[in-house]
Amino acid sequence: MAKSKIEQLVRKELRPHEIKNELFLIDTKSVECKVLKTLLTSILQDRAKIVIVPKNTKRKNAFIPTSLENELVRELRSYLEDKDDKNKFTLLMATIPEAMILTYAKRHKLTGKPLAPEDDVRKLLEQLQKQQAQTKPSLRKSFAWLNEHSARKK
Protein backbone atom coordinates (compact mmCIF):
# COMPACT_ATOMS: atom_id res chain seq x y z
CA MET A 1 0.00 0.00 0.00
CA ALA A 2 1.33 3.42 -0.96
CA LYS A 3 2.25 5.69 1.92
CA SER A 4 1.22 9.33 1.90
CA LYS A 5 3.84 12.07 2.01
CA ILE A 6 2.76 13.12 5.52
CA GLU A 7 3.14 9.53 6.76
CA GLN A 8 6.63 9.34 5.28
CA LEU A 9 7.61 12.57 7.04
CA VAL A 10 6.29 11.34 10.42
CA ARG A 11 8.17 8.04 9.96
CA LYS A 12 11.35 10.01 9.29
CA GLU A 13 10.86 12.06 12.48
CA LEU A 14 10.21 8.88 14.52
CA ARG A 15 13.36 7.02 13.38
CA PRO A 16 15.83 8.48 15.90
CA HIS A 17 13.52 7.70 18.84
CA GLU A 18 13.49 4.34 20.51
CA ILE A 19 9.87 3.27 20.92
CA LYS A 20 9.34 0.11 22.92
CA ASN A 21 5.90 -0.88 24.21
CA GLU A 22 4.24 2.49 24.65
CA LEU A 23 4.31 5.87 23.00
CA PHE A 24 3.03 8.79 25.09
CA LEU A 25 1.24 11.51 23.14
CA ILE A 26 0.39 14.85 24.77
CA ASP A 27 -3.30 15.68 24.30
CA THR A 28 -3.56 19.21 22.90
CA LYS A 29 -7.15 18.69 21.69
CA SER A 30 -6.10 20.13 18.34
CA VAL A 31 -6.22 18.94 14.77
CA GLU A 32 -2.50 18.13 14.95
CA CYS A 33 -3.07 15.76 17.84
CA LYS A 34 -5.85 13.88 16.05
CA VAL A 35 -3.87 13.67 12.81
CA LEU A 36 -0.76 12.48 14.64
CA LYS A 37 -2.69 9.84 16.56
CA THR A 38 -4.20 8.54 13.30
CA LEU A 39 -0.79 8.47 11.62
CA LEU A 40 0.93 6.79 14.57
CA THR A 41 -1.79 4.13 14.71
CA SER A 42 -1.16 3.44 11.03
CA ILE A 43 2.64 3.47 11.38
CA LEU A 44 3.03 1.51 14.62
CA GLN A 45 0.03 -0.80 14.14
CA ASP A 46 0.33 -3.32 17.00
CA ARG A 47 4.03 -2.82 17.81
CA ALA A 48 3.43 -0.12 20.42
CA LYS A 49 0.44 1.20 22.32
CA ILE A 50 -0.35 4.91 21.92
CA VAL A 51 -1.23 6.45 25.29
CA ILE A 52 -2.80 9.91 25.38
CA VAL A 53 -1.56 11.92 28.39
CA PRO A 54 -2.45 15.44 29.62
CA LYS A 55 -0.23 18.49 29.04
CA ASN A 56 0.89 18.58 32.67
CA THR A 57 2.36 15.07 32.62
CA LYS A 58 5.69 14.36 34.31
CA ARG A 59 6.79 11.89 31.61
CA LYS A 60 9.99 12.90 29.86
CA ASN A 61 9.58 10.58 26.88
CA ALA A 62 6.29 12.10 25.70
CA PHE A 63 5.70 13.48 22.21
CA ILE A 64 3.79 16.66 21.47
CA PRO A 65 2.18 17.36 18.08
CA THR A 66 3.01 20.61 16.33
CA SER A 67 3.48 21.95 12.81
CA LEU A 68 6.20 23.72 10.89
CA GLU A 69 4.51 27.09 11.26
CA ASN A 70 3.83 26.67 14.98
CA GLU A 71 7.48 25.83 15.63
CA LEU A 72 8.75 28.71 13.52
CA VAL A 73 6.45 31.14 15.34
CA ARG A 74 7.64 29.79 18.71
CA GLU A 75 11.31 30.02 17.68
CA LEU A 76 10.92 33.47 16.12
CA ARG A 77 9.10 34.81 19.18
CA SER A 78 11.80 33.35 21.40
CA TYR A 79 14.50 34.96 19.25
CA LEU A 80 12.79 38.36 18.91
CA GLU A 81 11.97 38.58 22.62
CA ASP A 82 15.39 37.18 23.58
CA LYS A 83 13.90 34.41 25.73
CA ASP A 84 14.99 30.81 26.03
CA ASP A 85 11.74 28.96 25.28
CA LYS A 86 12.64 25.27 25.31
CA ASN A 87 10.02 22.54 25.06
CA LYS A 88 10.43 19.70 27.55
CA PHE A 89 8.64 17.24 25.26
CA THR A 90 9.80 15.76 21.96
CA LEU A 91 8.20 17.47 18.98
CA LEU A 92 6.57 15.50 16.18
CA MET A 93 5.39 16.91 12.85
CA ALA A 94 7.66 19.95 13.30
CA THR A 95 8.72 19.68 9.65
CA ILE A 96 5.21 19.30 8.23
CA PRO A 97 3.40 22.41 6.96
CA GLU A 98 -0.04 23.22 8.38
CA ALA A 99 -1.59 23.02 4.92
CA MET A 100 -0.57 19.37 4.62
CA ILE A 101 -1.92 18.61 8.11
CA LEU A 102 -5.23 20.32 7.33
CA THR A 103 -5.56 18.49 4.02
CA TYR A 104 -5.00 15.15 5.76
CA ALA A 105 -7.52 16.06 8.47
CA LYS A 106 -10.11 17.06 5.90
CA ARG A 107 -9.59 13.86 3.90
CA HIS A 108 -9.98 11.70 7.02
CA LYS A 109 -12.77 13.84 8.55
CA LEU A 110 -10.81 14.78 11.68
CA THR A 111 -11.83 17.89 13.58
CA GLY A 112 -10.36 19.92 16.40
CA LYS A 113 -9.63 23.43 17.52
CA PRO A 114 -7.83 25.79 15.14
CA LEU A 115 -4.14 25.08 14.74
CA ALA A 116 -2.85 28.42 15.96
CA PRO A 117 -4.32 31.86 16.48
CA GLU A 118 -3.28 34.73 14.26
CA ASP A 119 -0.73 36.97 15.93
CA ASP A 120 1.95 39.47 14.95
CA VAL A 121 4.79 36.93 14.62
CA ARG A 122 2.66 34.59 12.47
CA LYS A 123 1.68 37.52 10.22
CA LEU A 124 5.36 38.47 9.89
CA LEU A 125 6.24 34.89 8.94
CA GLU A 126 3.48 34.74 6.32
CA GLN A 127 4.55 38.10 4.89
CA LEU A 128 8.15 36.86 4.59
CA GLN A 129 6.92 33.63 2.98
CA LYS A 130 4.98 35.61 0.34
CA GLN A 131 8.06 37.64 -0.53
CA GLN A 132 10.46 34.68 -0.65
CA ALA A 133 9.09 31.18 -1.21
CA GLN A 134 11.72 29.20 0.74
CA THR A 135 11.55 31.26 3.94
CA LYS A 136 9.94 28.62 6.18
CA PRO A 137 12.27 25.70 5.32
CA SER A 138 15.28 28.02 5.53
CA LEU A 139 14.26 29.33 8.95
CA ARG A 140 13.67 25.77 10.18
CA LYS A 141 17.19 24.76 9.13
CA SER A 142 18.69 27.90 10.66
CA PHE A 143 16.96 27.39 14.01
CA ALA A 144 17.93 23.70 14.01
CA TRP A 145 21.57 24.69 13.43
CA LEU A 146 21.43 27.35 16.18
CA ASN A 147 19.85 24.92 18.65
CA GLU A 148 22.43 22.24 17.86
CA HIS A 149 25.36 24.60 18.31
CA SER A 150 24.00 26.18 21.48
CA ALA A 151 23.53 22.68 22.96
CA ARG A 152 27.18 21.85 22.19
CA LYS A 153 28.45 24.89 24.09
CA LYS A 154 26.64 23.86 27.27
How do residues 73-126 score in pLDDT, each as one tens digit? 888 888 888 777 777 788 899 889 988 999 999 999 988 886 676 788 888 888
User: Can you give the pLDDT at residue 115?
Assistant: 66
Q: Are strands 62-65 and 49-53 parallel, antiparallel or unpaired?
A: unpaired
What's the rounded Cα separation, in Å, for the pair 135 and 112?
28
Residues in the chain: 154
Is 152's pLDDT higher than 70? Answer: no
What pTM, to 2 d.p., does this model score? 0.83
> Cβ distance 87 to 34 under 8 Å?
no
